[in-house]
Amino acid sequence: MHLGTKIQFGDCTRFALPGPARLAESSEECLRTLGLGFRARNLPRMAQLVDGRMNLEALRTQTLEEGREILMSLPGVGPKVADCVLLFGLDHLDAFPIDRWVRRAVTGRYHGGSKISDRVLQEWARKYFGPYAGYAQQYLFFAQRTFG
């Protein structure tokens, strides 16, 4: 089962990502069969809120903090997901999403393995790596997953 429209490239068939309207009308059960796991519970409601009511493109011009706050008002969106959307979808290259891999990479390589809150790590990363902290985050994630 696929929710996006079919795209054909020669002999290769793929499916586009579905828009918010299509996701909003999907059931949690349907979304779970597509492999969305625990995210399936919140996705239809989030899609309803976004579809026609929230201008995601406007988040490009807002500050990182404003964009994060708006995205985190959606059900199921926490700091990491908000920062991923801002970095990968909305050109906030200073966003620094933190998951277990990035936390291990940063604390191990730069802070002697100390326990540091995600908020403090993000502030540190934006100061240390500057306006392209998001690029550094990707390299750190890759290095941690690949080399430990």
Longest CA span, the chain: 52
Q: What is the pLDDT of residues 38-76, one digit of tens each?
A: 999 999 998 998 887 788 889 999 999 999 999 999 888
pLDDT computed for residue 138 by the predictor: 97
State the CATH number of the domain containing residue 134.
1.10.1670
20 alpha-carbon distance from chain centroid: 16
With respect to residue 76, please indicate whether it lies within any of the assigned structural domains.
no
Banded pLDDT at 83 (limits 50, 70, 90): very high
Contacts 24+ apart (CB under 8 A), 110-117: none
Residue with tokens 């933190």: 98
Q: What is the pLDDT of residues 94-134, one digit of tens each?
A: 999 999 999 999 999 999 999 999 999 999 999 999 999 99
Question: Residues for the chain: how many in total?
Answer: 148
Backbone angles phi, psi at 118, to 5 degrees: -60, -40
Q: Which residues pair with 15 in a beta bridge?
A: 6
Active site residues: 80
pLDDT computed for residue 50 by the predictor: 86
Q: Which of 35, 53, 71 is the last residue of a domain?
A: 53
Domain enclosing residue 138, as ranges: 100-147
Identify residue 14 by its one-letter amino acid code.
Answer: R
Q: Residue 1: is its pLDDT beyond 80?
A: no
